[in-house]
Copies of this chain bind each other. A is one copy, B any other.
Amino acid sequence: MKKTIGIIGLGLIGGSMAKAIKSRTEHRVVGFDRSVDVVNRALSDKSIDLAGDDDSLSDIDILLVALYPKQTVTFIKERSGFIKKGCVVCDLCGVKRYVCDALGAFGKERGFSFVGGHPMAGREFSGYEYALSTLFDGASMILTPTEGTTRTAFDELSAFFLSLGFSRVVETTPENHDRMIAFTSQLAHVVSNAYIKSPEATLHSGYSANSYKDLTRVARLNEEMWAELFLCNQEPLLDEIDTIIRNLGQYREAIAQNDGDRLRALLKTGSDLKKAIDENLD
């Protein structure tokens, strides 16, 4: 069935959603962005059918919010009066407890279904100019229902995302999402950003093994976005940082004490764990 999809924020994620929808479905897309240039570019690309305004919010069946966490909450709270009763609202930011706590019960009260969402895809670049219709191909879409999510809304949203190229929808709680994402994504950015700060980093021309390249790829990041995501997920991320610091200390001790048996055991535990995970997951 042809629906009207609203997309708030036409950056890398929102722009890619627009392109994926227009290239794979019959839905109508209404696009919103604070930059008039970006909206015009999306119109001329035919990635969106219409430039949105407050009034057009009342036509929207599925509203995707692709903003930073705080903007997401502010936008929805300020515009809730324009949102159609029964609309399915799904944010796309990288933390879920913060937005679901703020918008789950609120949506229920105002007559729309709020679902937390996080597409497991991205690039090292941000902005509409990097958006791709294929960005989500084969990726997981995480959805975290709230007290304001009806089962119908959830099922509709799930089918919608699968039609865009995602290979699966994973349903979980905001808390579980935030713990997992602290490990798989946030910690990776912290460690990578810390890794590059060695005094040797600027001197290693000729020594760039692939292991260095892998460890530092995500050191290059958008500090505004990541700082906000980290501060919206303090506890789980602090747990992960503490865990890796503690674990690094064990290798440090074994090396300092020249304890080959202990060092081999530490390395074997990690290596076996990685093998088992690669065989059982994804």
The residues of A with any CB-CB pair to B shorter than 8 Å are 120-122, 140, 142, 168, 170, 177, 179-185, 187-212, 214-224, 226-228, 230-231, 234, 237-238, 240-245, 247-252, 255-256, 258, 260, 263-264, 266-271, 273-278, 280-282
Contacts and interface: CB of A to CB of B under 8 A. Distances in A.
A230 B211 CA distance: 15
Main secondary structure of the interface of A (DSSP, over half): helix
A121 B207 CA distance: 10
Given A200-B179, A211-B189, A226 B267 contact: yes
Number of copies: 2
A81 B263 CA distance: 36
B122 A193 contact: no
Interface centre among A121, A199, A216 (most CB of B within 10 A): A216
A122 B208 CA distance: 12
Nearest to A180: B207
A251 B241 CA distance: 9
